[in-house]
Structures are given as C-alpha cells and as structure tokens.
Chains A and B, each alone.
Chain A
Amino acid sequence: MEKNLFSFIWKFSARQQIFILLITVLSYPVTYILLELPKLIVNDAVQGDGFPRAVLSVELDQISYLVFLCFSFLGLVILSNGLKLYINIYKGRLGERMLRRLRFELFQRVLRFRLPHFRKISSGEIIPMITSEVEDVGGFIGEAFALPAYQGGMLVVQLGFIFMQDPLLGLAAVSSYPIQGYIIPKLQKKVVLLSRMRVKNVRLIADKVGESITGVPEIHANDASAWHSADLSDRLYENFKIRYEIFNRKFFIKFLNNFMNQLTPFFFYLIGGYLVIEGDLSIGALLAVIAAYKDLAGPWKELLAYYQMTADVSVKYQTVVENFDPADIYPVERLVEDASQELKGDIVLGNVTFSGGAAGQEVFDASLTIPEGRSYAIAGPDGSGRAEVLQLAAGLVSPSSGRVEIGGVNLDKLSESTLGREIAYVGGAVHIWTGTIRDNLYYGLRHRPLAKVERHGEELADYQRRISEAHETKNPTYDLAAHWEDYAAAGVSGPDELDEKALSLLTAVGLDADIYRLGLQSRFDPTMDDELADRILSVRGTLAERIAGDPNLANLVELWNQNNFNASATLAENLFFAVPTDPEVGMDNIPDMPEVKTFLSDTGLDAKLQEIGLKIAETMVELFANVSGDSGLLGTYSFINQEDLPEFDRIVRVARSGNQRPGLSASDKSRLVALAFKLVPARHRLGIATDELKSEIITARRQFLDSVVGSSKNFVAIDPNTYLPPLTIEDNLLFGRARVDRRDARQRIDQVIRSMVEEMNLREPIMYAGFDYHVGVAGSRLSAGQRRRLALVRALLKNARITILDDVATGLNDEDKALREALRKLLAGRTFLFGAPNEELGAEFDAYALFDQGRVSSTHRNQA
C-alpha cells in the first residue's frame, strides 16, 4: 500500500488532479477581468469621453457602452461563480471517491490479515482508523495539487512584478522567506510528532472505552469502575496535554509568520524611502511595490496554511496506513478468487510446526494422516495444540514450517473460495451474526451473488450508477440484493428443499424444540404465506370448537366475541377490539395516536377514561405509598412502577385539588388514559368495570370499528376469520385470552394448543416461522448452547467434503453422546475431524490422535 499520501493521491487521481489544475488556471483570467471591469466602467464608461466607441467593430454611444460593459460584468460574475461551483463539487466528489477507495482498501486489508495478527490488534483501534481518522484525507485530496500550483503561481507573478520595479526591493520582499522556510518546517516537525502522538492516544481511548463496554459485567462485579475511571481520565489528560502543546506551536508558527510578513514593509519604508529621497526611485514605483507586496500576503498565507494542513493530513494518513501493512498479509487473490477446486484425498500434516505467539498455542513437528471419508478425533486438553492443529487442517492458519495438504494440494496456496466451501469448520468460540436465524443458517452458502436481479427504469439507473461508482473506486461490484444462497452446494434444488434440509439438521442437533418455541412467539406476515395463515386460522376454528364442546376447557379461556366484554383482556383491547398494526406501539403510546385521540374526544370517552385512570392511580398511590421500592411488590402487582408513582401522586393531587389552574396537562391526561387502558378487570378487582361501563365499551367498540379501523392503517380489527399480523402465532392460534382467574389456565391451554398443532401438522410451518426470529446483536437473544448448535447446523448445511469441529458436544453425558452419534451418522462417508479435550471420546471414532504439549503423543486405530 502507498506509504505516502501524495503517491496515493497521484496514483489514483492524476488525471483528475490535472483537470482541476486546468480549470483553476482557466478561472484566473476570468477573475482578473472581473476585477478590472468595474474600474473600466467607472473610469471609461461613466467618466470617459470620445464616444461613440468601437467594440468588436460595432459603434456604441455612451449609454449602450455602459450597458454593454455592465452585462459583460454580469456574464463574468455568472461564469466565475459557475466555475467555482463546478470545481468545488468536482473536488468534493473526487475526495469522496478517494476516501471510499481508501476505506475499502483498509477494510479489505483487515480481511487479509492472518488470524494470529488479530491477537495484536483490537477492533477499538481499527474502527476509528477506518472511519474518523481518514476523514480529513477526503477533504484534502481535491486541494492537494491545485492549491499550491495556483497560489504558488500567483506568488511568482507578484514577486516578478516587484523585481521588475526594483531588484533591491524585490530582494527586500523575499528577505524573510529563507528564514521562514527554515524555521517553520522545524517547528512544524514537532507539531507533526505531536499529532501522531495524539492520534495514537485517541485510539487508545477508543480501545479503552470499547473494552470497558465488552467487559462491563466484570467492572461491576469487581467494583473496578474507579480504576477504569482513573485510567480513562488519565488518558484524557494526556490528550489535553498533547492538544495544548499542539495549539501552542501551531499558533506560534502563525504568529511568527504574521510578524515576518509585517516586518518586510518596515524595510520597504526604510530602504524605499531612502531611495526615493536620494532620487533613485520614483514615489509612484514605491507605492506600486507596496501595493504588490500586500497582494503577496494572500497567497503566502494560503501556502502556509496548505503546508500545515499537508503535514497534518500526511501524518494522519501514515499513522493509519502503517497499521495495515503487516509483512505476512495474505495476497488479495485469496479473497477475490472465485474458482474453487475439489479437495479430495487424505488430510496430511507433514512435520508441521506452528506458533500462535504464546505458550500453549504451539504445534511442534506434527505429522499426521487423516484418511479421507473417515471419522477421526484429535484429543488433547486445552493448550495441547489441539485447536491449532484443527485450524491448520481447516486452512485458517498457516504452518511456520512443514506442509498441510489435502489430496496433495498445499492449503497455504489455496484461496478462500476453495477452503471456505470445501471445508466446514466450527471452533470453540462461535460467532452468530446479528440477523435472523435464517440468515445465520444459510450464511455458509452465501459466497457470491448467483443470479442477476431484474431491474427496470429508475431502479436500473440507480444500480448502474452504483456499479460505475464501484468501478471508479475499486470497490467490489457484488450485488447485495441478488440471490446469494448456493442451493447446489447444499445439495438441494431450491429454497423449499433448503428449508427442509435445515429443519432436519436442526432436529438432528436437538435444536428443533427451541426453534418451535421461537416460532410460536414470532410474528409473521400472512401476505408472504397465505397457506400458513389459512392453516393457523383453521386450527383456531377447530380449537374454538373443541373449547366450546368441552366445559373444562371453556372454563380456561375467554374467547374474543364482539358482543361480550372480555374480562381477561385489557380495557384497551376491549374498547378497540383491534390491535395496533405496529407491534412496537406500546400501551403508553396508544392514547397519543391521532385517530385514537379524535375518537376518544368525539365519543366523550376521554373524560371517562381519565376518571377511571385517576381512580386507579388513586388506589395505587394509596395501596403502595408506604411500600418500599425494593420489596418487589410494586413491580409485580401494580401497573405503575416505582419511578412513576410520585408522578401519579402529583397527578392525583392536582386533579383532586379542584383547582382549574394549573390543572392537568395534556400529557398527564394521556398518562391517565394509558393507565385506564392497562386495566384487566379480572385481575385488578378494583370495582371499576361495572356492567354499565362494559356495555358502554361494547357500544363504543362498534363505533371505533366503523370510524377508525375501517379507514386507518394503524389498527387491525380482531376478527375470527382473519390472521392478525401484529400478534404472535401463538396468540393467533388461541383466539382469546387464557383466563387470569383460573388456576394455571395459561399452561393448561398451551398444552391443548401444542397437541392441536401436532395433530394438524402445523409444527413444521411454525418452525419455519421461527427461522425469521431475530437473534439480537451477535446472537445475544439466544443461549450459549443455542448459539453453538446453530453454528453447527450452519456448518453442516454447507455440505462440505471435510467437516472439522472443535470443542463441540464433547461432554460425557447422554445428550452430547447422542449428538456425536447423530453427527457421525450425518457425516458418514466424509472426512470428519473432531477435536475433544478428553481421550475417552476417541474410542467412538474410526481413529484418533492424542496431543500433548504441541506434539502428537500417540495415534490409535479403532476396530470397526
């Protein structure tokens, strides 16, 4: 990678730089004429004589001449500013493109680092390098060549003018330049060093912050926040110190420069004055020289600022780039190569030595042959070199000496397109990507975009632009929207079969029950799959029939009925008999939805609901006023939490004081309505839901259905014959609420639902719905065991010739044993390399090798 900023800029934008320079030079005469014209207008057109004038062989009288000059002026104003606009946008675009190129190059280099290199760098340092640190480079690139050329040219012209007037004065004008040219770089050098320190210090701060976030449970568990605070504060002080030093020097340079610039006129007046008095120089010439010198200051200042900026940006560039050039970086072909070859044959490790950089991460002179198509265990405790050998066999790390070959092909020479497709590897620490379960399952099949996306019209134009920009900046042209899943590699013909295969593998590793549960809890869009929605509706119907036929069941649930009040549901559900389309809309936001607001005020329900809310608030304040927050009573039973209690206390006091002013604010009223909405009459026996209120709510419900639900997209009516997308599949199956005043009603009805789902063969589709469950940031919404099993299925789905597992299901319990058995069965006939810390497992495999302290201590072959 280009170590120097200017060689980077010149290499990738020489043509554009020359173009910018050309336009800049072109704009110079325009600017010059623009400055000259007003003088001409005043002196010649307004005050001049001898009209008419001949302009381009046309005779013009004074007025026409004035008009002509003024319009020329206007034309030049437009031209000059237009040029400026054009060149600025051009420079900005060039800067952005170069920045994109640089950032992508840096990211790609990160992907090319060898695995052991990641032990030495942290994401907290790398992220600011790629994002913020190179930001300034983008702004600089457009100016890199044009500014010095333009301003330097100006300077030379002005200096030439002075020298032409009088060589001695010319010398006086440049007399300070050598001194400035000597001192300023010296001072600047120190500033550059300081900026480097600053950049590194800020990186360290970013790293410390990042580490504190990842390790926050440890901080709290060890009461180490004081230590971390002190540590960070120390770094911040360091930053302040460096910054302060930089200011001092930077402004001193400025001071020195200004001083020198103003020192020169001193010589002018002294020497020039003397020359004029002696009669060697005319007074007019001296004044012209002084005026020219004033014009010198502008370009000189610009050049100095440019110099400082160059120094600053170059050092930033270098400080970033030097981190991305490790000597052993993989060639870029390893990433971008698309052709893959088949890895057939035995895995052979020949005198392999490897060091991960620390004790216990080494392999010494290991030789091993893992026969093709067999199951083979590598046993050895952590630190025995087991994990390293498995990574060597997967081609993830390269030996420092010796060879790792599969079927005679050296893995070190292969590209990822071969290694990542022919070998499936699951290590001890798995990573689950933020996204859905489906994304994670099929992750191992997304190597390249496979089919082109049909685009038309504007979409196509937008796509073409994206591609051409990618070409401009040497970014990849892979289409993110394309189809990436490689069905053929997974051994299936299409998406349905792939889903089926994934499901069977999930079942094999024992993740099916979890996925089913997630599926029941998930929401799905019925427009994506009408059939499933219909089947859920038919289960709902059958369930309703069964409930109606069995008094024991009927007692457990309260089904939705448009003409009845459902005491086990909230007041809001009863009133609206609809659910918000957006499941994220909570009860607290509903009163503020515009359609709800209008409806409540139109029907006069708002006052009533506020009164109910007030009553609830009053009771809650009365009941819980003396309860301490840590008892847990408040959180469990009240619908007001501890923090909100004083707020409601205030609302109650204001409302009951009888004063009209200040009265309750609109947000207070919304809170009261929200509180009323949360009331579940069967649970909160506050005596509020009287028969009168119930019938009133049922009447209002119909109004709401007519006036709001019919027209608003924000609500979906509760209707026995439609699927309600905002509710979970489970809630859609049971068209009602488990009664809160029956013991264990929820569990008992769940059991009924489960058995019905099984009966009606709905289990599978619900599991497919579970595929769309969002696993949270890095799989945080899954348990560690679930994450591991998911990664296992991801590897199995790749259908690779060679499967390497390390520290997966290595327990001696029955569950892990069954899983190993299942894995061996699934991978029968393929090479299956299994790493385990305990030797006992070796007997389960065709053969095994024992590792100890980085060496093969023995190999065994089991009789089949």
Chain B
Amino acid sequence: MTLEAEVEALRRVPLFRGIDETKLRLLAFISDRTEYQQGERLCSQGEPGDSAFIILKGKADVLVNTPEGEKTVAQVGENNIVGEIAILCDVPRTASLIASTEMDVLTVSKDDFLKLLKEFPDISLEVMRTLALRLERTTRDLAAAQK
C-alpha cells in the first residue's frame, strides 16, 4: 500500500476530515507504517499513550482490565482510528489493543502530530471543530439521558 492509500484511509477518519490533501499526505509520510502479527499487542491499558493507530488492514480486539482479567469489550477494524485522544493530551491508555488478525497500522506519534498542528494552524481549527461537535453531541446525549 502506498502513500496514496494511506491518505485515503486518513481521510475517512472524522478527526482529519476537514484537512486538505497535501497536509494529509505529509501526515501520512511522517507517520510510521507498522505490521502486526495476530496476537501481537499494539498497546496496553494504563501505559502512557503517545500515538494514535489508524487501522489500514485487519482487526484488533479492544480489551479492558477487570477483576477477572482482561476482557474483550469491542473490536475495531479497517479505517478506524484508535487512541486519538492520546495524541492531543496526556492520558493513560484506557484499554488494551491486541491484533486479532494480521494487521497493517499507521501510527501517528503525538510529537509529530503536535508539530504539524504548530506548522499549520488551520489543521488545529479543523481538529477543534471536530472536537467541539463531539462535545456538543455528548452534552446533548447527556441531557437526553437525564430526562
């Protein structure tokens, strides 16, 4: 898969939706492309998160720690972005990710993404807009739930 395909995948990520093509290409280029075997761990719950994963191929299980051990709570697949909160602020990973098939993943590191934001403030605006929309939706959902 080439840069172009990665750009396509990035474009489907809501967080990056409004960003123009050349900047997405730059983001794709500075990101690491990594392969994972089935059963390999992408990240573990509780460790400091420093990158977001964009799944280009394959699936991963999302696991959380419970008193009975790790438990699969969800599955993520192609074109999903996982751990994107970690590249915006310092929070520990809230879940573990384990490849359930062979995977092809684009890893965007926090440092690089922040550098990119500094370079191109319009990207920041887009990201802010997406986050605000999310917040608004969450607030609305919360209000609906309280009724």
The residues of A with any CB-CB pair to B shorter than 8 Å are 551-552, 555, 619, 622-624, 626-628, 631-633, 636-637, 682-687, 741-743
Contact = CB atoms under 8 A, between A and B. Distances in A.
Contacts of A742: 34-35
B29 interface: yes
Nearest to A624: B26
Contacts of A623: 22, 25-26, 29
Contacts of B119: 626-628, 631, 633
Interface of B: 1-4, 6, 22, 25-26, 28-30, 32-37, 107, 112, 115-116, 118-120
Contacts of A626: 119-120
Contacts of B25: 622-623
Given A623-B22, A687-B3, A741 B35 contact: yes
A624 to B, nearest CB: 7
Contacts of B120: 626
Contacts of A683: 33
27 contacts: A555-B35, A555-B37, A619-B3, A619-B29, A622-B22, A622-B25, A623-B22, A623-B26, A623-B29, A626-B119, A626-B120, A627-B26, A631-B118, A631-B119, A632-B115, A633-B115, A637-B112, A683-B33, A685-B2, A685-B6, A685-B33, A687-B3, A741-B33, A741-B35, A742-B34, A742-B35, A743-B34
A687 B33 CA distance: 13
Contacts of B22: 622-623
Given A624-B26, A741-B33, A687 B118 contact: no
Contacts of A686: 2-3
A682 B33 CA distance: 8
A741 B30 CA distance: 13
A687 B4 contact: yes
B118 to A, nearest CB: 7
A555 B115 CA distance: 31
B43 to A, nearest CB: 10
Given A686-B2, A686-B3, A637 B35 contact: no
Nearest to B116: A633
Contacts of A624: 26
B112 A633 contact: yes
Instruction: Indicate the member of B26, B36, B118, B120 with the most A CB atoms within 10 Å.
Output: B26
Contacts, number: 57
A620 to B, nearest CB: 9
7 closest pairs, A vs B, by CB?
A: A687-B2, A637-B30, A623-B26, A631-B115, A685-B3, A631-B119, A743-B34
Nearest to A622: B22
Instruction: Indicate the member of A551, A627, A632 with the most B CB atoms within 10 Å.
Output: A627
Contacts of A551: 37
B54 to A, nearest CB: 13
A743 B6 CA distance: 18
Contact of A633 (B2, B30, B35, B37): B30
B126 to A, nearest CB: 16
B106 to A, nearest CB: 10
Contacts of B115: 631-633
B21 to A, nearest CB: 10
Contacts of A685: 1-3, 6, 28-29, 33
Nearest to A620: B29
A618 to B, nearest CB: 12
Contacts of A741: 32-35
A351 B37 CA distance: 78
Instruction: Indicate the member of A626, A682, A743 with the most B CB atoms within 10 Å.
Output: A743
Instruction: Indicate the member of B34, B107, B118 with the most A CB atoms within 10 Å.
Output: B34
Nearest to A745: B34
Contacts of A682: 33
A632 B115 CA distance: 8
A283 B35 CA distance: 114
Contact of A637 (B29, B34, B36, B107): B29
B26 to A, nearest CB: 5
Nearest to A743: B34
Contacts of A628: 119
Contacts of A687: 2-4
A529 B92 CA distance: 52
Contacts of B29: 619, 623, 637, 684-685
B4 to A, nearest CB: 7
A633 B112 CA distance: 7
Contacts of B26: 623-624, 627, 633
Contacts of A631: 115, 118-119
Contacts of B112: 633, 636-637
Contacts of A622: 22, 25
A623 B6 CA distance: 15
A742 B33 CA distance: 8
A129 B115 CA distance: 54
Contacts of B28: 685
Nearest to A551: B37
Contacts of A552: 37
A637 B116 CA distance: 13
Contacts of B30: 633, 636-637
A367 B26 CA distance: 75
A741 B40 CA distance: 14
Contacts of B1: 685
B51 to A, nearest CB: 10
A669 B115 CA distance: 33
Contacts of B116: 633
A743 to B, nearest CB: 5
Contacts of B2: 685-687
Instruction: Indicate the member of B3, B118, B120 with the most A CB atoms within 10 Å.
Output: B3
Nearest to B6: A685
Contacts of A633: 26, 30, 112, 115-116, 119
A633 B118 CA distance: 11
A555 B39 CA distance: 13
Nearest to B26: A623
Given A626-B119, A685-B28, A741-B32, 13 more contacts: A555-B37, A622-B22, A631-B119, A632-B115, A633-B112, A636-B30, A637-B29, A685-B1, A685-B3, A686-B2, A687-B3, A741-B33, A742-B34
Contacts of A743: 34, 36, 107
Nearest to B104: A741
B115 to A, nearest CB: 5
A303 B69 CA distance: 105
Contacts of B35: 555, 741-742
Contacts of B4: 687
A686 B26 CA distance: 11
Contacts of A636: 30, 112
Contacts of B33: 682-683, 685, 741
A303 B103 CA distance: 94
Contacts of A637: 29-30, 112
Nearest to B4: A687
Nearest to A623: B26
A741 B33 CA distance: 6
B37 to A, nearest CB: 6
A31 to B, nearest CB: 82
A637 B37 CA distance: 26
A687 B28 CA distance: 13
A626 to B, nearest CB: 8
A310 B36 CA distance: 84
A682 B34 CA distance: 9
